[in-house]
């Protein structure tokens, strides 16, 4: 008898550090918010990272194809993908556990650039509002989500047209767990791989420098 692979358990193992334990940032919300308080304090102005540009372009193509008008962005960081959504005229809501992250975005994108958007200071696991959005999206924001299946279910519930999970991949290819866990949940997701520019153009470096978007149309049969 072949036992099914538990991809959520494999994901939990993926999140452990080289010593086989979870970092304090994963386990403690206060330590996580302290980290972002210090990190964002060093961010003087908004500048989109070069690596994010081709990923953001592909993301906007997905939004356009799905006729997305409103987006909930989970864990926006310093706005690598937020501004492009605002420039397209989308109704954007940013959700993050860090008030410092949201304050930076408000200052840089709203006060300085004049784009209006909404913010929710909460972690995704604790978000329980009834409101839905055309798209729910997050990139590199899953590193603390131990209960990945429920986080995916919530994305599936809160999106009307499109769900997108993104990850930059290096030696570790965590997006594989996204795809396989979605399949086990009965969701056939699509995968778009975006090669990124590299300073070192060796094949091994290129393999380490890719962005991945895993996306699907919300399935109301998943509970």
User: Model's pTM, two decimal places?
Assistant: 0.91
What's the mean pLDDT when you consider all of the chain? Answer: 91
Residue 198 pLDDT greater than 80, yes or no: no
Q: Identify the residue whose tokens are 């599936």.
A: 156
Q: What's the rounded Cα separation, in Å, for the pair 36 and 1? A: 47
Q: Which residues contact 105 (CB under 8 A, 6 or more apart)?
A: 76, 78, 79, 82, 94, 117, 119
Ranking 74-78, 121-125, 197-201 by mean pLDDT, the lowest is 197-201
pLDDT for the residue numbered 32: 98
3-state secondary structure the chain: CCCCCCHHHHHHHHCCCCCCCCCHHHHCHHHHHHHHHHHHHCCCCCCCCCCHHHHHHHHHHHHHHCCCCEEEEECCCCCCCHHHHHHCCCEEEEEECCHHHHHHHHHHHHHCCCCCCEEEECCHHHCCCCCCEEEEEEECCCCCCCCHHHHHHHHHHHEEEEEEEEEEECCCCCHHHHHHHHHHCCCCCEEEEEECCCCCCCHHHHHHCEEEEEEECCCCCCC
Tokens of 110: 């709203």
Q: What percent of the chain has pLDDT over 70?
A: 92
**What does the buried/exposed string (b/e) look like for 146-168 if buried means 16 or more CB atoms within 10 Å of the residue's CB?**
eebeebbebbbebbebbbbbbbb
In the predicted model, what is the mean pLDDT of residues 167-177?
A: 77
With vertex at residue 212, the alpha carbon angle to CA 123 and CA 146, rounded to the nearest 5 degrees, is: 35
Ranking 84-88, 165-169, 189-193 by mean pLDDT, the lowest is 165-169
Domain segments of the chain: what residues?
7-216
With vertex at residue 63, the alpha carbon angle to CA 59 and CA 66, rounded to the nearest 5 degrees, is: 135
Residue 201 pLDDT greater than 70, yes or no: no
pLDDT for the residue numbered 209: 73
CATH number belonging to the domain at 7-216, selected among 3.50.50.60, 3.30.70.100, 2.60.120.620, 3.40.50.150: 3.40.50.150
Please, which pLDDT band fits residue 197 given cuts at 50, 70 and 90?
low
In the predicted model, what is the mean pLDDT of residues 171-187?
A: 85
Give per-residue pLDDT as tens, 19-41: 999 999 999 999 999 999 999 99
In the predicted model, what is the mean pLDDT of residues 205-214?
A: 70
Q: What's the rounded Cα separation, in Å, for the pair 204 and 72? A: 35
Q: What's the rounded Cα separation, in Å, for the pair 222 and 123? A: 22
Give per-residue pLDDT as tens, 123-164: 999 999 999 999 999 999 999 999 999 999 999 999 999 999
Please, which pLDDT band fits residue 4 given cuts at 50, 70 and 90?
confident
Please, which pLDDT band fits residue 207 given cuts at 50, 70 and 90?
very low
In the predicted model, what is the mean pLDDT of residues 53-60?
A: 96
């Amino acid at each position: 008898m072949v036992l099914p692979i538990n991809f959520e358990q494999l994901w939990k193992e993926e999140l452990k550090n080289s010593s086989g334990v979870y970092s304090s940032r994963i386990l403690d919300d206060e330590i996580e918010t302290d980290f972002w308080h210090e990190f964002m304090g060093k961010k003087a102005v908004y500048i989109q990272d070069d690596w994010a540009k081709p990923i953001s372009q592909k993301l906007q193509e997905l939004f356009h194809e799905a006729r997305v008008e409103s987006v909930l962005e989970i864990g926006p960081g310093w706005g690598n993908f937020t501004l492009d959504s605002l420039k397209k005229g989308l109704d954007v809501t940013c959700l993050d556990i860090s008030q410092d992250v949201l304050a930076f975005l408000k200052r840089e994108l709203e006060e300085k650039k004049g784009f209006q958007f909404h913010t929710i200071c909460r972690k995704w696991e604790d978000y329980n509002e009834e409101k839905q959005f055309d798209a729910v999206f997050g990139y590199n924001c899953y590193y603390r989500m131990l209960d990945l299946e429920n986080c995916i279910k919530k994305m599936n519930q809160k999106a009307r047209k499109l769900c997108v999970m993104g990850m930059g991949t290096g030696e570790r290819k965590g997006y594989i767990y996204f795809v396989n866990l979605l399949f086990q949940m009965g969701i056939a997701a699509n995968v778009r791989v975006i090669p990124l520019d590299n300073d070192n153009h060796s094949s091994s470096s290129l393999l380490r420098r890719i962005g991945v978007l895993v996306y699907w149309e919300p399935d109301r049969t998943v509970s």
